[in-house]
Amino acid sequence: MRTASVCSIFIFALAPVLIPVVAADDPATADLDTVVVTATRTDQPRALTGESMSVITAADLRASQIVLATDALAQTPGLTIVRNGGVGQTTSIGMRGALTGQTLMLIDGVRINDPSAPDGSAILADLLVNNVERIEVLRGPQSTLYGSDAIGGVVNILSQRGGAGAGQLGASAEAGSLASYRGNITAHGTDGAMEYGAAVNYYRTAGISAADARDGNTEADSYRNVGATGNIRWQLGEGLSLDVRGYYAKARSAFDGYPPPDYSFQDTLEYGDDRLLAGYLGLNVRSFAGRLQNRIAVTGTSSERKNFDPTLALAEEFFATGEAQRFEYQGIVDARNSDQLSFGAETQRTKLTTGAPSSFDPNPLPTRGDTRVNGYYLQYQTTIVPQLTLTGGLRRDTDSDFGAHTSLKFAAAWKLRDGATLLRANYGDGFKAPSLYQLFSEYSNPVARLAPESARGWEAGLDQRFHDDRASASLTLFERRTNDQIDFYSCYGVDSPACAVRPYGYYDNINRSRARGVELEVTAQLSTTVMLAGNITYLEAIDLTTQNDLARRPREMANLRINWQASSKCSLGADLGYSGARFDDSFESSSLPGYVLVNGHAAFAVNRQLQFYARVENVLDKRYQPVAGYGALPRTFAAGLRAEL
């Protein structure tokens, strides 16, 4: 009775101080027996992959009441998430110091990196949690299986599908500070030969000023998002099934800029519209008692971005559309119970159309470009003895614009002490093809063909279980070197033939970088009701040309979560995140201090179908700038109701 009262007080009074937490049913983030698909593109226990991975489960997301997928990613080791202001503002990811466009983003295996973005990165600001079953975060270069963009690693968001009954419905609604509202409806189940999952999501907030309010900016930059997901599998016959998947997001966000006459960063009336549609159609064929699996799939994405300025007599001040069509074949042969061969072929064509109308040129000739990349890969995994699993892979990619590239992968996982101890190590190559904007815009290289960015990385780790698997620890050492990194070369004050053609500058392979460090993860079931999880990352990411730290890549990061299941109906918890000091630019001329964020949350189950929940974000009301000149969310509150039928 007393614990229920505590829970009720928090939910309805939204007290700003909580005991920190994760859900008591959430040991999955440390479970080496968890089956994952991203590491090998096949179903494998995580312990056999030899890879450094984090798995964020639906229970994690539910316990912490996370709305934005990037907030969940920020709690994993080695990841830096930078958002330029409040919800909906430009958001970037740095996996082990890699640039944003060097991390491959997937939803149900479909690439959502935007072909129209200057660096080919995904629109991370619009990724809301919607019917997510789990998020797999695979760290380190992974181009052998995934081709371009997987230099830092791969993030795969997997949606929920199927279930015990024909229809399981869920709904939630919440409201909170900054006039924020969110509604979500989900459905999943199994009906005869069909497994399905679907959801719709709506979110809006009045927001805060993207330009820091402490600099005198008072105009709030609002955001709204409408999204939907669908995931269906039909069993067409013995060993034959059809997959149909879809993802849709449409968002509008206001933002700030550099208006005349002084062109300093401040409030403006500008806003942007984003739209992303992604689809997957695949046929799965199993034969020879399931030992041979074939998958043939067609995927596609269509993106559109537009920016508007009501103070200008223009229909729009910027537009960009991107398209990607991809054909995939993958074969899997289970040669023996302990040996598996994976092989495949892929071809992808991407297109870009973009332009920036202005008062000087209201109807500019759009920039257009397209390219095709073909890839072929082979990977073999064998368990030599019950304790030792080895994996090796090879990939070849070809493109008319950058030529050919070969990627290698080797991994080993060695179990000791009946699986309580796991030693793992791997080496991997990564590459990133030049983006369409870098190849075809007015800043394309006028004298040389851009080469793909390439990387080589290794890691070695130890995973240890303690106290009858009630606690675990993981230690990983890693290093990655990136060559031919593409950057913008400014022609200001430079007299050269190239600058005579490109007076403002152009893209070129001019940078080399190195990232190395250590990641430590710990989870512990402190009691039958209390679970703790934490991680610490030390990262040294530097430009090898200047020896300067890469911009906005802190050397120290840490996260802590602890959950208390106070009673059968009530849970309390909090998440703590620390980001160390970092430089805002590559010249180390502007530094940003470190900061600590604390979020608290609680939930109270009225019955098996109905639950009240509430949370406080930025409990300490920490004021900081994630990027120089940009603000961050103050202390905010939210409360809601969740129902399941």
Overall number of domains in the chain: 1
C-beta separation of 103 from 61 below 8 A? no
Q: Please answer whether residues 640 and 182 qualify as being in contact, where contact means their C-beta atoms are separated by less than 8 angstroms.
A: yes
State the pLDDT at residue 21. Answer: 33
Give the residue, 592 or 164, on which the prediction is more confident: 592
Q: Nearest 5 degrees, angle CA 335-CA 134-CA 394?
A: 40
Percentage of the residues of the chain whose pLDDT score is greater than 70: 95
Token digits for 559? Answer: 């996260």
pLDDT for residue 9? 46
Q: Assess contact for 390 and 353: CB atoms under 8 A.
A: no
- Whole-model pTM: value is 0.93
Helices (H), 384-453: 436-440
Q: What is the pLDDT of residue 313?
A: 85
Q: pLDDT of 298-352, one tens digit each?
A: 999 999 999 999 998 888 999 999 999 999 999 999 988 789 999 999 999 999 9
Residues in the chain: 645
Per-residue confidence (pLDDT) for residue 28, from 0 to 100: 36
Residues paired with residue 241 on neighbouring β-strands, in sequence order: 235, 284
Residue 167's CATH number: 2.40.170.20
Task: Find the farthest-apart pair of alpha carbons in the chain and give their distance in angstroms, rounded.
Answer: 79
CA distance 22 to 288: 44
CA dist., res. 293 & res. 331, Å (int): 6
CB 625 within 8 A of CB 641: no
Over range 276-301, report the average pLDDT. 96
22: pLDDT strictly greater than 60: no
Is the pLDDT at 247 greater than 80, yes or no? yes
Inform me whether the pLDDT recorded for 5 exceeds 60. Answer: no
pLDDT of residue 363: 87
Q: What percent of the chain has pLDDT over 90?
A: 86
The pLDDT of residue 23 is: 34
Q: Which of 121, 119, 116, 109 is nearest to 146 (CA)?
A: 109
Confidence band of 19 (pLDDT split at 50, 70, 90): very low
Predicted confidence (pLDDT) at residue 17 exceeds the cutoff of 50: no
pLDDT of 14 reads: 40
Question: Cα angle vertex 547, ends 544, 548, to 5°?
Answer: 120
Q: Return the percent helix, strand and coil in the chain, to nearest 5.
A: 10, 55, 35
Question: Can you give the pLDDT at residue 127?
Answer: 96
Q: Which residues pair with 273 in a beta bridge?
A: 252, 306
Rounded average pLDDT over 471-493: 95
Does residue 579 carry a pLDDT above 60? yes
SS3 458: strand
Q: Which residue has the tokens 């466009």?
A: 101
Show the domain range for 544.
Answer: 2-644
Residue 386, pLDDT > 50, answer yes
The Cα–Cα gap between 142 and 37 comes to 13
Report whether 543 contacts 550 (CB < 8 A): yes
DSSP structure class, residue 311: T
Mean pLDDT of the residues in the chain? 92
Structure token pair of residue 156 = 């795969």
Instruction: Give the β-pairing of 103-107 and 153-159.
Output: parallel
State yes or no: pLDDT of 494 exceeds 60. yes
> What's the pLDDT band for 27 if we cut at 50, 70, 90?
very low
The reported pLDDT for the residue numbered 290 is 87
The first and second tokens of residue 119, run together, are 């660096």
pLDDT tens-digit profile of 551-571? 999 999 999 999 999 999 999
Q: What is the DSSP letter of 364?
A: P
SS3 of 497, please?
helix
In Å, how far from its chain's centre is CA 517? 20
3-state secondary structure of 479: strand
Residue 210: how many other CB atoms lie within 10 Å: 31
pLDDT in tens, 210-224: 999 999 999 999 999
Residue-wise pLDDT tens digits, 430-467: 999 999 999 999 999 999 999 999 999 999 999 999 98
Q: Would the pLDDT of 18 be above 70? A: no
Instruction: Determine the Cα–Cα distance for residues 277 and 546; give it in Å rounded to an integer.
Output: 40
Is the predicted pLDDT of residue 64 greater than 90, yes or no?
yes
Q: Which pLDDT band holds residue 166 (cuts at 50, 70, 90)?
A: confident
Q: Which amino acid, one-letter code, is at 415?
A: K
The two three-digit tokens of residue 505, written as one number:
């500058």
Joined together, the tokens standing for residue 531 give: 């679970």
pLDDT of residue 7: 58
Question: For residue 27, what are the CA distances in angstroms to 58, 69, 80, 356?
Answer: 12, 20, 24, 49
Q: Cα(399)–Cα(430) distance, rounded to whole angstroms?
A: 16
Tell me: the pLDDT tens digits for 29-51? 346 678 899 999 999 999 899 99
pLDDT digits (tens, 9 = 90+) for 86-137: 999 999 999 999 999 999 999 999 999 999 999 999 999 999 999 999 999 9
pLDDT tens digits for 190-216?
A: 999 999 999 999 999 999 999 999 999
In terms of C-beta density within 10 A (0-12 exposed, 13-18 middle, 19 or more buried), how is residue 267 classed?
buried
Q: Specify the pLDDT at position 24.
A: 36
Q: How far apart are the first and last CA of the chain?
A: 26
